[in-house]
Chains A and B, each alone.
Chain A
Amino acid sequence: MARGLPAVWSSILAAPFVVGGLYVYLTDPSEFVTRQVGLPMIGFGLAVIALGFYIHFVAAPEPPKMRERESVIDTRHPSQRAALAKAILGFVSLLVAAYLLLFTFTPFVYPTVAFILGLYLFTTGLHRYWTNTLTTYFVTNRRLIKEYRFISLEKQEIPFDKVRGVRERKSVWETLVGLGNVSVSTGGGRELKIVIKNIYSPTEFADEIRNYV
């Protein structure tokens, strides 16, 4: 089972689409927009709920197997704060789009722009939320492991004796919400890199890794 409650939160995030779609379809609030616009809204909301349940009950990865004399020192999960902020901004933009579309006489280009922007922010926020839910970083005394599974398992690991660089980075967005990224990479021709995204206290985490390098 995935960490957190993705089924519950996905349902909460999707509920406005289902409710809004039903409202549009049943009440036909605008003379300029067909009530059938409510149907794709309902469909989108139901799809989000279905994916949320899938992630909750099916998709989460299992913890990695430890080798001999290996133990887990730290386990990190990406924070959901950035994802949540993005999704909320997307919601606001989608609400603006719905208002402009259904309750004003402005040319359709304005609600369309707000719709595209809102949908982009919401879906990227939702994607980040689900991805974070399914991603776990394990720091053992020998290696750094990243596991992700949606349908198939994706596992990356870097033995600490191969690490040639540990880098912290905070984007403006992450600085605003108090998060950061730590990039751990090997050198050489076929560089392997694990980016630990959206974690609290990235400096502390980077130092922890540096101690083992």
Chain B
Amino acid sequence: MITLHRRDVLKLTGATLVTAGVMPSRVSAQPENEFGSWPQAGYDAANTGYNPDAVGPRDDIAQAWEFGTDADASGHWAPHTEPMVFSDFVILPALDGYYYALEAATGAEIARVETEAGAVSRPAIGDRAVFAETDVDVIRAFEIEGDAERWSYRHPLGDGPYRLTYADGRLYLPGVIALNTDDGSEAWVADTGAGWFGVAVADETVFAAVEAGSEVYALDAGDGSERWVTEIDGRIEELVAPVVGSGRVVVQSESSHLHALDTVTGELAWTFDPRPSTRNASTPAIHDGTLYYGHSAPADPDTISEDAGTLFAIDLGTGEERWSIPTRGGIGASPVVADGVVYVGTFGDEESRNPSPRLIAVAADSGEVLWQSEMAFDVVALSIAGERLYAMVSDGVLEVFGPAASTTPVAERSDDTAESGARNVRSPMATVDTGLASSRSGDSDRGQRGFFSNDGSDPAFLTNMFNLTVLGFLLSLLGLVYQMLGGD
């Protein structure tokens, strides 16, 4: 793992990342660093969303820092890119068209560079280089150790922005095209028309789905030859890349159904229907034989309810639901997993009874909600590295959280944030009055605990037991004193 030094960061001199100063000129290779890494979209080439080296906030949450951009994501067609973390730096591709380089410790801006391509593309880090689409359809590789641009490559088919995937000395581009990362030469080109929103690489196989089509390809990572192609039932969701784990490649159709194919044969293993069906741009995460899938209910004002979103845990082998929890708001940020905890971000909806977006941490094995934090703006992208959770919110601000012990607890920061104009107002880290409760397979009576029933249809004030208890005891005490004053 590489470590960057603040003093080594280059000054802005041009349009590329290196010359713009986004990348430092000198680095030293070290096995560990304080802030960990999240080197590409989905963390790894298989897009698992699982960071094995991270230990995120598990029992409590506190804000470490925040950084504002001009990238208002409200109504933007593309989902936000999660920030990349490596060594002591954070690279933030933002929808305002800039790549930002920030200090991981403090969030201080080191440099920014405007990209012609817009920063909705997903850079990747690997092989001691950063790969990014800096101009329209042009991908450049920048040396992490040193000052040079290693190579550049113009995508022959155009139609970016691209989600780049690095694996084993290769950089994979939509199409599918595999580039050798040492010199940028084409290792192979497979004319499939697939992978426009990213490919997944695992077990020397490249998996790519045809955006808005039905075909899923498995290509040999060595030479690009086709191993199998399978057509799924329905059109593939264009904003969700395939994810791979435990012998399954999972793709999502526009009806929000998940289709799991055997990675070796391409045969359909199972289909998961989250109900109700709707288009859904949440990419699942995978860890330890379980797939974590955030699903949003249809954005129909007549049907939107308290449970506009659900986080599912699904057995990768069988497709059976292990547990699910209502997230109240729709899923805004795809789930990420670290150290036995699943993190997910939600939208708020002023028309519903849950106007506040939330960050939610859930125990991966049981579905128990560990904590939740109300946010002032929709949470649209997450990544996790080291001890910190990076949450991009819809008004273009990167919020960074860590465990309370190592940072300033959120509750204690409320005055500070108010003075500094910070936008988020959070409730204490209590899960008890959120109405978020897991629903386990085989334990169908568990779900959201309501007042008259557990179907989540009750008004929120009726499920706030604190208020009801205060009211009950207060009335009793006042009644008692009143009766005593009145005599026998």
| Same assembly | yes
Chain A positions within 8 Å of B, measured between CB atoms, are 28, 30-37, 40-41, 43-44, 47, 51, 101, 105, 107-109, 112, 115-116, 119-120, 122-123, 126-127, 130-131, 135, 146, 148, 150-151, 154, 197
B463: chain A residues within 8 A (beta carbon): 108
Pick the 5 closest A-B CB pairs, nearest first. Answer: A34-B432, A44-B473, A40-B473, A108-B451, A40-B470
Which residues of B in the span 437-452 have a Cβ within 8 Å of any Cβ on A?
437, 445-446, 449-452
Most buried by A among B454, B468, B488: B488
CA distance A78 to B468 in the complex (A): 35
CB–CB A31/B369 < 8 A: yes
CB–CB A131/B454 < 8 A: no
B474 near A: Cβ within 8 Å?
yes
CB–CB B446/A105 < 8 A: yes
B477 near A: Cβ within 8 Å?
yes
A58 to chain B, nearest CB (A): 12
A104 to chain B, nearest CB (A): 10
CB–CB A30/B432 < 8 A: yes
CB–CB A40/B449 < 8 A: no
CB–CB B462/A126 < 8 A: no
Partner of B474, one of A32, A40, A107: A40
B13 near A: Cβ within 8 Å?
no
CA distance A151 to B481 in the complex (A): 11
B472: chain A residues within 8 A (beta carbon): 40, 115-116, 119
CB–CB A150/B432 < 8 A: no
A101: chain B residues within 8 A (beta carbon): 465
CB–CB A107/B450 < 8 A: yes
A40: chain B residues within 8 A (beta carbon): 466, 469-470, 472-474
- Are A35 and B430 also in contact (CB < 8 A) when A41-B469, A108-B450, A108-B462 are? yes
B30 near A: Cβ within 8 Å?
no
B405: chain A residues within 8 A (beta carbon): none
A94 to chain B, nearest CB (A): 10
CA distance A116 to B472 in the complex (A): 7
Most buried by A among B449, B473, B480: B473
CB–CB A123/B476 < 8 A: yes
Q: Which residue of B lies closest to A152 (CB)?
A: B485
CA distance A146 to B456 in the complex (A): 55
B433 near A: Cβ within 8 Å?
yes
B368: chain A residues within 8 A (beta carbon): 31
Chain B positions within 8 Å of A, measured between CB atoms, are 368-369, 430-433, 437, 445-446, 449-454, 462-463, 465-466, 468-470, 472-474, 476-477, 479-481, 483-485, 487-488
CA distance A127 to B485 in the complex (A): 11
Q: Which residue of B lies closest to A34 (CB)?
A: B432
Q: Which residue of B lies closest to A112 (CB)?
A: B468
CB–CB A105/B487 < 8 A: no
CB–CB B487/A148 < 8 A: yes
CB–CB B488/A36 < 8 A: no
Main SS class of interface, A: helix
CB–CB B466/A37 < 8 A: yes
Q: Beyond the given A33-B432, A47-B477, A131-B483, could you list 19 further A-B residue pairs with CB under 8 A, ordered by the A residue number?
A: A31-B368, A31-B431, A31-B432, A31-B437, A32-B449, A35-B432, A37-B466, A51-B481, A51-B484, A108-B451, A108-B468, A120-B476, A122-B476, A123-B479, A123-B480, A127-B480, A146-B488, A148-B488, A154-B488
Most buried by B among A47, A107, A112, A151: A107
Q: Which residue of A lies closest to B454 (CB)?
A: A107
CB–CB B483/A127 < 8 A: yes
Q: Which residue of A lies closest to B446 (CB)?
A: A105
Task: Offer 7 A-B interface pairs, CB within 8 angstroms, sorted by A.
Answer: A30-B432, A41-B473, A107-B452, A108-B462, A126-B480, A151-B485, A154-B488
CA distance A105 to B443 in the complex (A): 11
B479: chain A residues within 8 A (beta carbon): 123
CB–CB B476/A33 < 8 A: no
B101 to chain A, nearest CB (A): 41
A45 to chain B, nearest CB (A): 9
CA distance A51 to B462 in the complex (A): 31
CA distance A112 to B477 in the complex (A): 17
Most buried by B among A31, A115, A126: A31
Partner of A107, one of B431, B449, B470, B473: B449
B170 to chain A, nearest CB (A): 46
CB–CB B474/A34 < 8 A: no
A158 to chain B, nearest CB (A): 15
